[in-house]
Amino acid sequence: MDNVSAKSCLVIVFTMASFLASAADLSQPNPLSDSEWDKVREHVELLDKISFIPSLLPVIMKHQDTLNLSDDQRAAFRGWRKQNYKKMVDLMNEIIGQRIALSKAALDPSADGNQLISQQEAILQLQEELLRVRLSCRELVLTTFSPEQWSSLAFVLEEYPNFAGLMQ
């Protein structure tokens, strides 16, 4: 392995370790502070390239007052986080690990095409599993938000470059 590949692998390993450590902390049932929600958002943004559904919950909870969330909504979102956050981060980390393995295998002259296709299929299966988890959050937002909250969310998302212009 060359020096650049070794450094890249180290960065990814340290990043994954950071997410694993923080996933346990942030899946607590207690309310998170704004700074803790910022931390969640930053972690999820780094991994958002692994999933194709935007991570709305950290933004929603950071702006819960602006969005006029009810106590029931807050409790529902905290419950979702408690139940799903660690699983979501674990899936993202597994996808990252398998993508690294696939990249390495693709550069190995002894790896055959069927092996590479099998590895890619495993990654796609994990991505579908991740998509299902994230869609459950989307469904929670859709079923709990009022039309006014949805409009307010569109306004709030304009502050975030990753979301700006996505809502119509």
Do 22 and 41 form a contact (C-beta atoms < 8 A)?
Answer: no
Question: Is a pLDDT exceeding 90 seen at residue 162?
Answer: no
pTM above 0.85, yes or no: no
What pLDDT was estimated at residue 137? 94
Average pLDDT for 148-156: 93
Q: Is 8 among the domain residues?
A: yes
Question: Rounded distance, CA 142 to CA 115, Å?
Answer: 40
Give percent above pLDDT 70 in the chain: 70
Structure tokens at 102: 């696939």
Q: Is 50 among the domain residues?
A: yes
What pLDDT was estimated at residue 37? 61
Average pLDDT, the chain: 81
| DSSP 8-state secondary structure symbol assigned to residue 48 | G
Q: Is 162 among the domain residues?
A: no
Q: Is 165 among the domain residues?
A: no
Average pLDDT for 4-11: 47
What pLDDT was estimated at residue 14? 44
Q: What is the tally of structural domains in the chain?
A: 1
Q: Is 38 among the domain residues?
A: yes
Q: Which domain holds residue 64?
A: 3-157
Q: Is 167 among the domain residues?
A: no
Q: Is 76 among the domain residues?
A: yes
* Nearest by Cα to 37 from 53, 52, 13, 59: 59
The pLDDT tens digits for 79-90 are: 999 999 999 989
Classify each residue of 50-75 as buried b or exposed e, where b means 16 or more C-beta atoms within 10 Å of its C-beta.
Answer: bbeebbbbbbbbbbbeebebeeebee
Average pLDDT for 118-124: 97
SS3 112: coil
What pLDDT was estimated at residue 150? 93
Q: Is 163 among the domain residues?
A: no
